[in-house]
Chain A
Amino acid sequence: GAGVSQTPSNKVTEKGKYVELRCDPISGHTALYWYRQSLGQGPEFLIYFQGTGAADDSGLPNDRFFAVRPEGSVSTLKIQRTERGDSAMYLCASSATPGEKLFFGSGTQLSVL
């Protein structure tokens, strides 16, 4: 596609529920990143994929968070037993070369009530 696509754009859920956030990167981009951005803060790194494998998941805050990229293209960020503190904008980015120019999607605004 023309850019990085993230769905849904908004997600409202209740505390304790499970959510999945989807990212469709730019075609051919092997590197895919998930970031989380809270109000008034910069994006915070969560996880980075090179191809199908998670090359760096050091930013995942706890074991409620998990991400997959089974075919090396689309990625899904999964959050179990959501908490109100998980409310944030979740950003996905991809790049043709790891560590270089990142192309960001518009994000998924997650609200946990």
Chain B
Amino acid sequence: AQSVSQHNHHVILSEAASLELGCNYSYGGTVNLFWYVQYPGQHLQLLLKYFSGDPLVKGIKGFEAEFIKSKFSFNLRKPSVQWSDTAEYFCAVNGGGTNFGNEKLTFGTGTRLTIIP
């Protein structure tokens, strides 16, 4: 069964600091990888996704993530965070390629990010 681990439960940073949130997955096959974000009082929304090709993926609001297949990782990064980045971040995985029947997403437990002005 597929699983996702997010080891950082709560991260506190000052504005302008650099960010890296860890995500490791377990899945026996081709994968699609996602980061979703939930801002306070809002619904979950897609931040970025990796399906294939360039393992460095750029998303909205200056975020990026790098797929490292050998490490089963898909860490999220941002060079300089802002107070508005305060949110909960979820890594997720599903079966990619032609693995029909693997459309369901498996989410990690999430990382709460607090940015101090």
Contacts and interface: CB of A to CB of B under 8 A. Distances in A.
B104 A42 contact: no
A92 B110 CA distance: 18
A103 B6 CA distance: 22
Interface in A31-55: 31, 33, 35, 40-45, 48, 55
Contacts of B94: 99
A56 B104 contact: yes
Given A42-B90, A55-B101, A101 B46 contact: yes
A25 interface: no
A7 interface: no
Contacts of B49: 100-101
Contacts of A58: 104
A31 B103 contact: yes
Given A101-B49, A105-B43, A45 B101 contact: no
Interface size range of chain B in the complex = 20 to 34
Contact of A33 (B32, B90, B104, B110): B104
Contacts, number: 62
Contacts of A101: 46, 49
A90 interface: no
Nearest to B96: A99
B110 A41 contact: yes
Nearest to B38: A104
B109 A104 contact: no
Contact of B46 (A42, A102, A105): A102
Given A42-B109, A55-B101, A102-B44, 10 more contacts: A3-B43, A44-B107, A48-B104, A91-B44, A99-B103, A100-B49, A101-B46, A102-B36, A102-B105, A106-B42
Interface of A: 3-4, 31, 33, 35, 40-45, 48, 55-56, 58-59, 91, 93, 98-107
Interface of B: 4, 6, 32, 36, 42-46, 49, 90, 92, 94-96, 101-110
